[in-house]
Structures are given as C-alpha cells and as structure tokens.
Amino acid sequence: MTQDWPRHDMSFLSGHRLRRTRQAEWSRAMVRETSLAPSDLIWPLFVIEGDNEKTAIRTMPGVERLSVDLLVEAARAAREAGIPALALFPNTPDHLRSDNAAEAYNPDNLMCRALRAIKDAVPDIGLIADVALDEYSSDGQDGLVRDGEILNDETVAVMVKSALAQARAGADIIAPSDMMDGRVAAIRAALDENGFEHVQIMAYSAKYASCFYGPFREAVGSGSRLKGDKRTYQMDFANSDEALREIEQDIAEGADSIMVKPGLPYLDVVRRARDAFNIPIYAYQVSGEYAMIEMAGAAGAIDRDAAVLESLWAFKRAGANGILTYFALEMARRLGR
C-alpha cells in the first residue's frame, strides 16, 4: 500500500530556496561570509633553557617547550607557512624565580635572549612578548604579593621595566596579560619616552579567571607553585558588560589591539567587542581548549581535524581579526594548500 503523505502548500518557497547556494563547493565558497587564512593565526611558543632541547607538556599532546635555537627553527617554519607573528612565553628556571620577580626585567633573561635570536635570524616575523610576573615569581601570581594581597601599582612598575627590556631585545608587540589597572597607560608612556613609539601594545583586556589555563600553567612552570587564585584581578566569568569597560579603558590608555581570553567559551564577548569598538580584536584559543580537542579526538569522540577547523572559523565568525592558537603551524600549512 502506498503511503499518501500529507501535502502542504510550499508555494511561498518558490523564490526563496536558501539551499540553492549550498549545492556545490564553488557556490558555497562564493557566498561564504567569513574567511580564514594563515595570516589570521598567531603561534604561541614556550621557551626553555638549553641547546637543542625540547620537552613534552603532559597535558598538551603535540606541544613542546623549545630551547632558543629550536625556537629559531620554529620561527622559520612559521614564516614559510605564512604566519605573521609568534607569541613567546618563557619557562624560567626555578632558581631565578623570586618574590620580587626581578628576572622579568633582566636584559639577558630567557625571553629577551629568545627575542634577540629570532629577530636576528627571522627579522620579518612579528614577535609578541608576554608581560606578566607569573613566569618569574616564586608564587605563580601575575602580580607582586604582600600579606596575601596582589599589589597593583607596584606590579605595574615592575611590568614597565620588563616591557622596556623586551622592547630593547626586539619585541614588536608588548602584550600585558596581568589585568592590573593602569598598566597599558604606564607601558605606553615608558615606551614612548624611551624611543619605542613604534612598538605596539596588545592588551589582554578581557582575561577571565578560567579553569581552561591549567595546561598553560604547567607549560610555563607556574601551576604547581601557584598560591591562592587570581580572581581579584582576572575577570569574573559571569560578566560581559565589565569586559567592555575593561576594553574601553585599555583603548583610552593607548592599546593598539585587544584580546579576549579564553576563546570559545567567550565568543559572546568577542562579538560584543566587535560591535562596540573599531580596533583589532584577537582571541586566544587557550591551552585547555587545545587539550580538549586533542584528547577528544584521540578518544574517537570527535573528528579532530574537523573540530580544529570549525573552532577556528567560529572565532572569525564572531568578529576576531586573528587567533592565538597552538594549532597555528598545522592549520597555516593546511590553509596554504
């Protein structure tokens, strides 16, 4: 017996069949609203002491800490793949960490040596230098601590000295990631007064107190020594209006670009920032996001390669100009093909 399915009047669709443009890849490409290219990607890299040294990061499968000589090789590979810039993060040896984080402004510290080496060997790739004290402090906090309190202005003073050391070493962009109040204005003033008017500031303006940073803290060696938490200076993840206030303040203080961190859980903040401000906006696909995709893919729960691509496109669709991602080299090569 033939089933007589109910028939409905579909005449209203006669002129508006949106599937028409989806029927072939060439047509989908023609109407695609956003684009993703190697130039949209920034590659975060972790630096360690030694020569020809690399160490695995347990919670970030496929990511390694690299000594300065291997970092130079990575920079050459990034340039060849079309990646415009690298973001550097040092794993400072334990004996150089202290409660006053003085190693942060040592002109011969690990970060500065890495900046000089890459700039000498690969001068046409941009170098983004992280400025915060957690990579140099003995307690894992981004700021100086006194009696359990994070000191704002005292921290900013140290960060200014750190930023100047990095600029002298060849940093093209200073990226304060600490969330202290007033640090963008202080760094901008110091850079200008010391002849570094050309050096940009990429402010971590909306950096949330997030559980997704765990693997990163292992990578830079701050997680095991962290005392307390960072909720008095990093943002409450319940808030988005506050993020716009932070961004507005950093722009007023002289930021050339701003960042939202983490990435995928905060795409609403990226979108609100894009709608509100005419400034380059970057999103950081952080270590926890990377680890989830890698581990879910290894477990067979998702198609790993498809998930990487879809996640990066989500950042562009939300309005990000660029993405800091540990998938950068792989994806730049794939997109280049």
d(CA 94, CA 82): 35
Q: Count the Cβ atoms, other than its own, within 10 Å of residue 216.
A: 25
d(CA 290, CA 217): 14
d(CA 299, CA 307): 13
119, 207, 230, 316: which is the annotated catalytic residue? 207
d(CA 206, CA 243): 5
Amino acid making up residue 98: S
The whole-angstrom distance between residue 232's C-alpha and the CA centroid of its chain comes to 21
Residue 230: active-site member: no
119, 230, 261, 316: which is the annotated catalytic residue? 261
Pairing between β-strand 64-67 and β-strand 54-56 as defined by DSSP bridges: antiparallel
Residue 207: active-site member: yes
Per-residue DSSP letter, 59: T
Q: Count the Cβ atoms, other than its own, within 10 Å of residue 140.
A: 21
Pairing between β-strand 144-146 and β-strand 149-151 as defined by DSSP bridges: antiparallel
Q: In the numeric block, which tokens belong to residue 180?
A: 């202290």
How many CA within 13 A on the CB side of residue 182?
A: 9
Q: Count the Cβ atoms, other than its own, within 10 Å of residue 168.
A: 16
Which residues, in sequence order, are bridge partners of residue 42?
Answer: 85, 324
Query: Which active-site residues does the annotation give?
Result: 207, 261
